[in-house]
Structure 1
């Protein structure tokens, strides 16, 4: 619920469908969710590169990068995690309205938060991509040494250790990143977009 008063939504002269027609493709958000170290950012950026090479308007919203700017005032409490995802959802919606295929790489651990983001999009625009990777494999990778720090108690509220991760129940796409190469994962996602006539 907005706290602002005396505001009115101003409809854009150029519609989303106008932008789709000009671009020659649809728009959506590919919402990558999964544990730290599962490969979300790597796959999201690889998908973005593949789309760029095809001349598709695209953009990546990465969790760490967003916390350097828009969400630098947020921590990792449950409340802050929820607000983090809410803000990203609204930003992603603007990108989708602009006619872009936007990929987001966020742990987004709570199912209810992801479902709330889904609700602000039109049918078919929110594509949940569950990057499914066993926590044991994520810990082996641990590119930022976050699991090691969490195990030592140096990081609190770390997802998968002392804060829960609620896996999607019905994601549009499940990527087994422990079994697939990055290229195979990208092809899986692009095939889905083609099947749905977004590309």
Structure 2
């Protein structure tokens, strides 16, 4: 492991986050979707992003699987690697928020301590935790990637919900019960929250 860089200095940008928001005509934030695999995080995050795009709002989706194909392809699924995965995504999400965009992130992010650390990166109101709550039984029934099936057979180790814990958010800003709510209802709930907070 190489030594950490020490001879570095923070360089303030000429254009501020507030100026970018003013130019865009809307606020910026991260919608941090968390929940079990198969709960619907990516589906709902992309549906929200699509609706924001239709309304000419600057947005972007950071998806867990996609990010592991590039930025985080060197990470596995041990607790330490999961921590680093979330730390990196938090920093990337902060860059998007600073650029004036609404970024949706779809990551299991099973540990509350990791989510709390990411929250600390943002100013008040910029980090919006969206708990996509779905019973494990329903997630296993859906199992779009056959991951639960493989985990039950022992082919995947440290799988969240099976042999690795998921810590539910005690006070998420938004709770979506994807076992009973439709995607459209979830999108409506999230967009209404953004309107109530005057982000859009």
Give the Cα separation in 2 of the matches to 1:105 and 1:145: 18
Alignment-derived partner of residue 119 in structure 2: 118
Unaligned runs of 5+ in 1: none
What does the per-residue CA deviation read over 1:74-130, in whole Å, with 9 as the maximum and x for residues that have no partner?
000000000000000000000000000000000000000000000010000000000
Alignment-derived partner of residue 15 in structure 1: 16
1:86 has 2:87 as partner: yes
The secondary structure found in structure 1 opposite 2:39 is coil
Output the TM-score relative to the length of structure 1: 0.99
The secondary structure found in structure 2 opposite 1:137 is helix
Give the Cα separation in 2 of the matches to 1:67 and 1:181: 28
Q: Give the superposition deviation at 1:150.
A: 0.3
Give the Cα separation in 2 of the matches to 1:184 and 1:21: 29
- Which runs of structure 2 are paired with 1:29-178 in the superposition (5 Å)? 29-178=30-179
The secondary structure found in structure 1 opposite 2:60 is strand
Give the Cα separation in 1 of the matches to 2:143 and 2:15: 45
Give the Cα separation in 2 of the matches to 1:139 and 1:154: 15
Give the Cα separation in 2 of the matches to 1:90 and 1:184: 30
Output the TM-score relative to the length of structure 2: 0.98
Alignment-derived partner of residue 185 in structure 2: 184
Unaligned runs of 5+ in 2: none
Q: Give the superposition deviation at 1:168.
A: 0.3
Alignment-derived partner of residue 198 in structure 1: 199
Q: Give the superposition deviation at 1:3.
A: 2.2
Q: Give the superposition deviation at 1:6.
A: 1.6
Give the Cα separation in 1 of the matches to 2:151 and 2:6: 43
Q: Give the superposition deviation at 1:4.
A: 1.4
Off by >3 Å, runs of 4+ in structure 1: none
Alignment-derived partner of residue 24 in structure 1: 25
The secondary structure found in structure 1 opposite 2:89 is helix
The secondary structure found in structure 1 opposite 2:83 is helix
Give the Cα separation in 2 of the matches to 1:6 and 1:75: 30
